[in-house]
Amino acid sequence: MRLNLFAFLIIKNADKPICNDCKYFKYDTIYNDLHFGKCAKFANKDLITGKIIFEDIQKARVYHCGTNGTYYEPKMESKI
């Protein structure tokens, strides 16, 4: 008898928005990993150089957006 394991599968946060699908998500090409991305919604300006430093995506989600993705905005899809 084979059990259907998917009948007992519970996925937490399945209904929450994903940072990768947000218009503020900036992919980091250096590390080539989504976990090293940046959030363009939250940034700091270096007062010495004037360079804009974007918040790490994981820190932005924990400290600013939260689990519910408060500042999440979907990416605009191009119409071709």
Q: Kindly list the distances between the CA atom of residue 16 and the CA atoms of 40, 44, 47, 59, 75, in Å, as whole numbers in the listed order.
A: 19, 26, 35, 17, 15
Among candidate residues 65, 57, 20, 17, the one with its CA nearest the CA of residue 37: 57
Instruction: Phi first, then psi: give them for residue 47, nearest 5 degrees.
Output: -75, -15
pLDDT single digits (tens) 6-58: 566 788 888 999 999 999 999 988 888 888 999 999 999 999 999 999 999 99
HSE on the CB side for 60, CA within 13 Å? 26
- This prediction has a pTM of 0.73
